[in-house]
Amino acid sequence: MPANNHLADGIYVNLDPVAGLGFGLGVSVLLNLGKGQMPSSVGSFGWGGAANTNFWIDPQEDLLGIIMLQFMPSGTYPVVPDFRIMTYAALVD
């Protein structure tokens, strides 16, 4: 499956500010919830692009998030992380 971690055992990626990620085929995959700094579930996957475009899929929550902004440099404003935080805060069990 493209959203499974395809890195060999013992190979991990430590990206700032997001740790606990593996990589599938074209997506990052959350492997360790304790190291992630944004709300999500283990197994969530997605990708961010230039100009603040981002998507993620959280199979455990049956949730898909897409945000498509057009400004550079990426990360100038916390719009993408704020969008994700507010999305999870709005979930009702």
pLDDT of residue 32: 82
Say how far apart CA 51 and CA 92 lie, in whole Å: 31
Q: Give 15's contacts (C-beta < 8 A, 6+ positions apart).
A: 21
CB 26 within 8 A of CB 18: no
Mean per-residue pLDDT for 63-79? Answer: 91
Write the pLDDT tens digit of every residue in 14-70.
655 567 788 888 898 988 887 667 889 999 999 998 899 999 999 999 999 999 999
Higher local confidence (pLDDT), 55 or 2: 55
Domain boundaries, the chain: 21-89
pLDDT of residue 93: 79
Q: How many Cβ atoms are within 10 Å of 55's Cβ, its own excluded?
A: 15
Predicted model pTM = 0.83
Backbone angles phi, psi at 29, to 5 degrees: -130, 130
Which residue would you say has higher pLDDT here, 31 or 87? 87
